[in-house]
Amino acid sequence: MFVNDCLNVNENGHLTIGGCDTVELANEYGTPVYVMDEDTIRTACSSYVQSIAKYYNGNGLAMFASKALCCKELCRIVNDEKMGLDVVSGGEIYTAMKADFPPEKIHFHGNNKTAEEINMALDYNIGKIVVDNLYELELLNQLAKAKNKVVKISMRIKPGVDAHTHDFIRTGQIDSKFGFALETGEAMEAVKKTFQYNNVELTELHCHIGSQIFDIDPFVTAADIMMDFIGSIKAQTGHLITELNLGGGFGIRYSAADKPTAYDDYMNAVSKAVIAKSAQYNIPVPFIFIEPGRSIVGEAGITLYKVGGVKDIPNIRTYVSIDGGMCDNIRYALYKSTYTIVNASHADKAPDTKVTIAGKCCESGDLIQENAPIATPRVNDIIAVLSTGAYNYSMSSNYNRITKAPIIMIKDKTPRVIVKRQSYDDLIQNDI
Ligand SMILES: Cc1ncc(COP(=O)(O)O)c(C=O)c1O
């Protein structure tokens, strides 16, 4: 009935998640509230882990891209599921460390890591630093030298693959702030440069071609290009790259129109390309990393809001105002992202109208969705926005000094708070 497998409708006509009544959850925990289904997260984790076992003989590691959702409990769950972690800031490193995440299973990404963050990663013995530019390479070597360490590095490459995704989230092109371009020779120069430094050791290459991708072909093409580059590095320098990181980007269902590829099919096709290229260049099949973010947590989460004013502007549109907005979900304002909206109080009723869901922030662009089909919402109805598990809480802000919503995790039909609602005191705690 819904795109998300963890959702259903109960005898009261209310939407349920993981078997819990969303209207009751809204009453108990208040709104807005993020609610997540733990089994959905764990199933996604284990699909990736099993695919690596199946297609690479276990010679690889699936890493959760924690930018999609970073909090201590998520770190614990993905660790329990035998995944690694991709982090992009000191804050994400700190969260992982406080959740006792094994540092050797962490990759540190980012296009402008500060000296402070690099030192933090070195002190925690983070497994790998993914170098983004020459300035960073030199800085990292200097900082590692000062600590008398040799640090394992990966290098972010732009393979130049167009994954037919939204421009704002396309990162594999030459014109991207991330990584070294292949076409210009910049990437090969950077690889050679690493050999001049004594405190870094290049073992891995990395690429990430975009997000919310449904086709397998761009992933296969990117893998081919990366393997060709590994072949060229060996031919030109004699150096063997033994690890290949193919990033994340696997699409999820935001609406019924979205048809994601099964992870297994992706792994099957890409592994064939990697294995064939390894034979072509007469090198061992590299250890494979992948970095799914959205596809681990996206469909597991929903956001519940309470309807306030309904403003009907005849012949134009109906605004349905909710008690959250761009402060808890900025993706429509940022990318015009599609979401499925459900009247959780009347989830048994078919949509009979189309509305604009408006947030409460002081911005006309603070919308969650326009032209959304829904069963007519009335004041105090609970509205659910589906597939909000990724890049919602992690992108949330305190704009207009609105407090951040809590995250409730459901397991065995039992809800538990994994992130508390911010209080007004939390808001002013750093004000002098
Ligand atoms: C380097 C890297 N890896 C992984 C991801 C996760 O992508 P997704 O959430 O689309 O799987 C991103 C997303 O921006 C990324 O930049």
Higher pLDDT, 174 or 323: 323
395-428 pLDDT, tens per residue?
999 999 999 999 999 999 999 999 999 999 999 9
Q: How many CB atoms lie within 10 A of CB 249?
A: 29
- Alpha helices in 67-166, H assignment, sequence order: 72-80, 90-98, 115-123, 134-146
Predicted pLDDT at 167: 54
- Ligand 1 touching residue 406 (CB < 6 A): no
- Ligand 1 touching residue 251 (CB < 6 A): no
Contacts of 356 (CB under 8 A, 6+ apart): 317, 318, 319, 320, 367, 369, 370, 371, 372
Q: How many CB atoms lie within 10 A of CB 251?
A: 20
283-306 pLDDT, tens per residue?
999 999 999 999 999 999 999 999
Closest atom of ligand 1 to 68 CA is 9
Predicted pLDDT at 171: 58
The mean-pLDDT minimum among 172-186, 277-291, 330-344, 384-398 falls in: 172-186
Instruction: State the average pLDDT over residues 264-280.
Output: 96
Q: Is 362 a catalytic residue?
A: yes
Q: What percentage of the chain reaches a pLDDT higher than 90?
A: 92
Q: Is the pLDDT of residue 383 over 60?
A: yes
Taking all residues of the chain, what is their mean pLDDT, rounded to a whole number? 95
Instruction: State the average pLDDT over residues 89-108.
Output: 98
How sure is the predictor about 169, in pLDDT bands with cuts at 50, 70 and 90? low
Predicted pLDDT at 38: 98
105-163 pLDDT, tens per residue?
999 999 999 999 999 999 999 999 999 999 999 999 999 999 999 999 999 999 988 67
Predicted pLDDT at 3: 79
Distance (Å, whole) CA 70 – CA 64: 10
How sure is the predictor about 271, in pLDDT bands with cuts at 50, 70 and 90? very high
How far away, in angstroms, is 66 Cα from ligand 1 center? 9
- Ligand 1 touching residue 293 (CB < 6 A): yes
CATH architecture of 7-30+300-428: Beta Barrel (2.40)
Catalytic residue among 45, 327, 361, 362: 362
Q: Are 405 and 396 in contact (CB under 8 A)?
A: yes
208-219 pLDDT, tens per residue?
998 999 989 999
Angle between helices 115-123 and 134-146 (to 10 degrees): 50
Query: Which amino acid, residue 13?
Result: G
CATH architecture of 38-297: Alpha-Beta Barrel (3.20)
Predicted pLDDT at 174: 76
Predicted pLDDT at 361: 98
Q: Which of 83, 86, 212 to mutate to test the pocket of ligand 1 (most atoms within 8 A of CB)?
A: 86
Which run of H or E residues covers position 371? Answer: strand 367-374
- Among left, alpha and beta (phi > 0; psi -120 to 50; other), residue 286 is beta
Q: Is the pLDDT of residue 164 over 80?
A: no
The mean-pLDDT minimum among 77-81, 169-173, 357-361, 393-397 falls in: 169-173
Residue ranges of domains in the chain: 7-30+300-428, 38-297
